[in-house]
Amino acid sequence: MSELEDLLKDVEILRGQLEKLISEKSGNLVDTEVVTASKILNAALNQYNKFIQEKFDKS
Protein backbone atom coordinates (compact mmCIF):
# COMPACT_ATOMS: atom_id res chain seq x y z
CA MET A 1 0.00 0.00 0.00
CA SER A 2 1.26 3.50 -0.75
CA GLU A 3 1.83 6.10 1.92
CA LEU A 4 -1.16 8.07 0.64
CA GLU A 5 -3.41 5.02 0.88
CA ASP A 6 -2.14 4.36 4.40
CA LEU A 7 -2.92 7.93 5.43
CA LEU A 8 -6.41 7.75 3.95
CA LYS A 9 -7.06 4.43 5.68
CA ASP A 10 -5.96 5.89 9.02
CA VAL A 11 -8.18 8.95 8.53
CA GLU A 12 -11.20 6.79 7.74
CA ILE A 13 -10.60 4.56 10.78
CA LEU A 14 -10.17 7.55 13.09
CA ARG A 15 -13.26 9.26 11.64
CA GLY A 16 -15.33 6.14 12.27
CA GLN A 17 -14.03 5.86 15.82
CA LEU A 18 -14.86 9.52 16.47
CA GLU A 19 -18.39 9.14 15.09
CA LYS A 20 -18.95 6.07 17.28
CA LEU A 21 -17.61 7.84 20.35
CA ILE A 22 -19.83 10.89 19.72
CA SER A 23 -22.80 8.57 19.49
CA GLU A 24 -21.83 6.79 22.71
CA LYS A 25 -21.50 10.15 24.47
CA SER A 26 -24.99 11.21 23.27
CA GLY A 27 -23.59 13.92 21.02
CA ASN A 28 -21.59 15.59 23.79
CA LEU A 29 -18.85 17.22 21.70
CA VAL A 30 -17.06 18.66 24.73
CA ASP A 31 -16.57 15.29 26.44
CA THR A 32 -12.85 14.85 27.08
CA GLU A 33 -12.70 11.55 25.17
CA VAL A 34 -14.46 13.10 22.17
CA VAL A 35 -12.12 16.09 22.20
CA THR A 36 -9.08 13.81 22.40
CA ALA A 37 -10.31 11.64 19.53
CA SER A 38 -11.03 14.77 17.51
CA LYS A 39 -7.49 16.05 18.08
CA ILE A 40 -6.05 12.72 16.94
CA LEU A 41 -8.16 12.81 13.78
CA ASN A 42 -7.12 16.42 13.20
CA ALA A 43 -3.43 15.45 13.45
CA ALA A 44 -3.97 12.67 10.90
CA LEU A 45 -5.73 15.10 8.56
CA ASN A 46 -2.88 17.58 8.94
CA GLN A 47 -0.41 14.84 8.07
CA TYR A 48 -2.48 13.94 4.99
CA ASN A 49 -2.66 17.59 3.90
CA LYS A 50 1.09 18.01 4.38
CA PHE A 51 1.72 14.93 2.25
CA ILE A 52 -0.54 16.23 -0.53
CA GLN A 53 1.04 19.70 -0.40
CA GLU A 54 4.53 18.23 -0.67
CA LYS A 55 3.46 16.25 -3.74
CA PHE A 56 2.07 19.39 -5.41
CA ASP A 57 5.17 21.39 -4.54
CA LYS A 58 7.35 18.79 -6.26
CA SER A 59 5.30 19.03 -9.48
Task: Quote the number of domains for the chain.
Answer: 1
Domain coverage including residue 35: 3-53
Residue 38 belongs to some domain of the structure: yes
Residue 17 belongs to some domain of the structure: yes
- What angle separates helix 3-24 from helix 32-58, to the nearest 10 degrees? 160
Under a CB-based contact definition with an 8 Å cutoff, are residues 44 and 18 in contact?
no
Would you say the pTM of this structure is higher than 0.85?
yes
**59 residues of the chain, pLDDT tens digit each:** 698 999 999 999 999 999 999 999 999 999 999 999 999 999 999 999 999 999 889 87
The pLDDT of residue 58 is: 82
Residue 25 belongs to some domain of the structure: yes
| Backbone dihedral region for residue 26 (phi beyond 0: left; psi -120 to 50: alpha; all else: beta) | left
